[in-house]
Amino acid sequence: MTRWSRAACLSGMLLLSTVSAGARVIISLDYSLDTGGLFDSAAARTAMERAAQVYSDRLVDNLTAITPGGANTWSARIINPGNGAVDYDPGLNGVAANVIKVYVGSRALSGLEVGNGGAGAAMVGGTQSFTDNAASRGQPGALATPKTDVGPWGGSIAFDIKTSWYFGLTPGGLTTSKIDFLTVATHELAHLLGFSASPPSSSWAALVSNGKFTGAKATAAHGGLAPDVSGSHWLGMSSTVGPSGPAQTALMDANLPTGVRRRITLLDWAAMGDIGWEVAIPGDANANGEVDFGDFQMFEQNFGQANARWSQGDFNEDGVVDTTDFTILMKNYGRRQDGTLAPPAAPVDVPEPTVWGVLALGVVIRLMRRGRVVRR
């Protein structure tokens, strides 16, 4: 068994974050501090970028910019991922709206640790409105007591250079002698985004009581029972990948065996919602807050594609765009992020349910024919 853990956030500092363009949060990766050389590999960078896309495809919060100037000052502080230096100044003096800056690097980590990531901090000064915005990124709950939301500007993640990594995007080449990099990177990014008991005033910590995570969404995803936690991790919890996917140990469990790939599960996503993130609803490929024709177009264009992403129509997050994703899309068609149904653009005659079934079957048959390879 291999163990990972997250770095504690810098103490005595103000926690901050960034946002994404349009509807989505953008995770901006920076490899400039990678003195260990792990990310000299194109395969490592590609896998890291895919892990970041897991979140940028579905997190739809509107994060405000941090724009210092005049008497308002802001300077980032991180744990340097290349050498472990605490309270390191990476030279970042502001963050654009909807951008989360992540410094990625590698070094020899201690013990069985293969990944170590966490949110950054900052040195901040200026008006109350500026410091409040820097601490919350426009998320009021991040200023509440207890906190009910997060507003990070970013942070850092270090990966162990002694580990025998598998960087493939598909699990076919993953052997029992390798640790799956994509799993670890996705896990550590969740810590950086607030899936963490550090600091003790975090929105995660506010929902932990007597070894249980009491968030309403996570409790519902766990069959009405509050899931067990240990520190900043689940404790032996299982869940499904997507609404109808296979069961597995949840991504945010503390331990990962060699030769195992884990995807983010419904329980993990539910906890992200509990700590304050807005998570795009199933079927919303373009993350515009509503399941609509644009989402159907993305699904249709990518039908049959392997190694797919949420934004390409992989709504059950199993890596393939198929009829299961179509079922999810149809079930939520017309639904908004807040759970309401969007009114039709104009009065229409609504077919009987059986007609909807025939129409859906016709679409599926057409897509399957289109994706068939014919040998001549």
Distance (Å, whole) CA 266 – CA 38:
31
Burial of 84 per CB tally in 10 Å (0-12, 13-18, 19+): middle
Distance (Å, whole) CA 109 – CA 158:
8
pLDDT for position 113: 96
Buried b (16+ CB within 10 A) or exposed e, 137-174: bbbeebeeeebbbbbbbbbbbbbbbebebbbbbebeeb
Check: CB of residue 236 under 8 Å from CB of residue 253: yes
Check: CB of residue 203 under 8 Å from CB of residue 146: yes
What angle do the packed helices 323-332 and 293-302 form, to 10 degrees? 180
How many residues does the structure list for the chain? 376
pLDDT digits (tens, 9 = 90+) for 350-374: 444 444 444 454 555 455 445 443 3
Q: What is the DSSP letter of 97?
A: T
CB atoms near residue 230 (< 10 Å): 13
The closest of 329, 282, 281 to 303, measured between CA atoms, is 329
pLDDT digits (tens, 9 = 90+) for 206-245: 999 999 999 999 999 999 999 999 999 999 999 999 877 7
Question: With helix as H, strand as E and coil as C, how does 176-235 read?
Answer: CCCEEHHHHHHHHHHHHCCCCCCCCCCCCHHHEECCEECCHHHHHHCCCCCCEEECCEEC
Q: What is the mean pLDDT of the chain?
A: 87
Reported confidence tier of residue 75, pLDDT bands at 50, 70, 90: very high
DSSP string across 311-368: GGT-TT-SSB-SHHHHHHHHHHTTBBTTSPBPPPSS--PPPPHHHHHHHHHHHHHHHH
Rounded to an integer, the average pLDDT of 254-268 is 96
Is residue 348 scored above 60 in pLDDT?
no
Q: What are phi and psi of 186, to 5 degrees?
A: -65, -40
Check: CB of residue 52 under 8 Å from CB of residue 58: no
Check: CB of residue 90 under 8 Å from CB of residue 76: yes
C-alpha pair distances (Å), 131 with each of 224, 266, 281, 310 = 39, 34, 32, 35
Burial of 94 per CB tally in 10 Å (0-12, 13-18, 19+): middle
Distance (Å, whole) CA 166 – CA 46:
12
Reported confidence tier of residue 21, pLDDT bands at 50, 70, 90: very low
User: Residue 345 has which token pair?
Assistant: 């653009």
Is residue 349 scored above 50 in pLDDT?
no
Predicted TM-score (pTM) of the model is: 0.86
Rounded to an integer, the average pLDDT of 27-41 is 98
